[in-house]
């Protein structure tokens, strides 16, 4: 089986001296659903951002589909990210001036997805948002915004899905539905997932779990 994500001796030290990641080695194989757990401030978001190429590590290597993204130019990295990766952000970053439906269709168009509107409607139906299509993000509840952020990532039909507390604002039943959708993506399209969560009830969905504590992985 091929490794889709691999970090080697990864360190992140922020300018203020916080050591957010200390010598972190993780691996995710194709089709795996891997959990990233640990207390608040333990480095989960930092690790996901670095794996996505959104932030640079202080030291160490990050391989995405076998390519070391820490040695890549911006263009090459952007290409790789666009081709393979989607990110569900902890703080959503939805487009405020656009409706729910547009938040999905616009990204689908940018990514060159066929029939972006049909695809968006299919995703929004699963996410139970068809009664909110014309709402702006600011007119939605926190959990609804979170589901739009999930929908937007799914529009990209990624091979690798990185999710940062994707169910943090959802009740447990809705959280389970999201994880069931993740498992379906794995079954149907071999998608690999690395998912940060606090929620111990969702552990059952993971093939494996990495636990971070103060920037270090438990062994």
Residues that bind Mg ion (CB under 5 A): 44-45, 90
208-213/192-196 β-pairing: unpaired
Is residue 197 part of the contact set for ligand ATP (CB under 6 A)? no
Q: At what angle do helices 142-155 and 116-126 cross, to 10 degrees?
A: 140
Q: Which residue is nearest to Mg ion (CB)?
A: 45
Is residue 6 part of the contact set for ligand ATP (CB under 6 A)? no
Give every CB contact of residue 59 below 8 A, 6+ residues apart in sequence.
9, 10, 11
Q: How far is CA 210 from CA 47, 53, 85, in A?
A: 11, 20, 20
Two tokens, residue 81: 């990210």
Residue 162: closest CA among 197, 187, 137: 197
What does 14 bind: Mg ion, ligand ATP, none (CB cut-off 5 to 8 Å by kind)?
ligand ATP
Q: Which stretch binds ligand ATP (CB under 6 A): 37-45, 56-64, 141-149, 175-183?
A: 37-45
What does 42 bind: Mg ion, ligand ATP, none (CB cut-off 5 to 8 Å by kind)?
ligand ATP
Question: What values do phi and psi take at 215, rounded to 5?
Answer: 85, -5
In angstroms, give the least distance from the CB of 38 to ligand ATP.
6
Is residue 14 part of the contact set for ligand ATP (CB under 6 A)? yes
Give, as ranges, the residues between 63 and 122 that touch ligand ATP (CB under 6 A).
90
In angstroms, give the least distance from the CB of 175 to Mg ion.
16
What does 43 bind: Mg ion, ligand ATP, none (CB cut-off 5 to 8 Å by kind)?
ligand ATP
> Residue for token digits 């989960």?
44
Is residue 167 part of the contact set for ligand ATP (CB under 6 A)? no
d(CA 69, CA 87): 16
Identified binder of ligand ATP from the candidate list 34, 35, 46, 127, rule CB under 6 A: 46
> Residue for token digits 């794996």?
51
Q: Is 29 helix (H, G, I), strand (E, B) or coil?
A: strand
Q: Using CB under 6 A, list all residues that contact ligand ATP.
A: 14, 16, 18, 20, 38, 40-46, 90
């Amino acid at each position: 089986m091929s490794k889709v994500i691999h970090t080697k001796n990864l360190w992140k030290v922020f300018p203020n001296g916080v050591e957010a990641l200390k010598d972190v080695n993780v691996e995710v194989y194709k089709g795996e659903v891997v959990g990233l757990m640990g207390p608040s401030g333990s480095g989960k978001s930092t690790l996901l951002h670095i794996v996505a190429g959104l932030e640079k590590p202080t030291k160490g290597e990050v391989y995405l589909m076998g390519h070391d993204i820490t040695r890549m130019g911006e263009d090459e990295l952007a290409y790789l990210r666009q081709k393979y990766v989607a990110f569900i952000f902890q703080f959503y970053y939805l487009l405020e001036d656009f409706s729910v439906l547009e938040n999905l269709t616009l990204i689908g168009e940018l990514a060159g997805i066929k029939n972006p509107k049909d695809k968006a409607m299919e995703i929004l139906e699963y996410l139970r948002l068809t009664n909110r299509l014309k709402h702006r993000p600011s007119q939605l509840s926190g959990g609804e915004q979170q589901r739009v952020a999930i929908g937007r990532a799914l529009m990209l039909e990624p091979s690798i899905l990185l999710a940062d507390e994707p169910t943090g604002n959802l009740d447990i039943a809705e959280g389970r539905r999201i994880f069931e959708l993740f498992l379906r993506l794995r079954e149907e399209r071999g998608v690999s997932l690395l998912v940060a969560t606090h929620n111990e009830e969702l552990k059952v969905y993971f093939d494996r779990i990495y636990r971070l504590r103060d920037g270090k992985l438990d062994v």
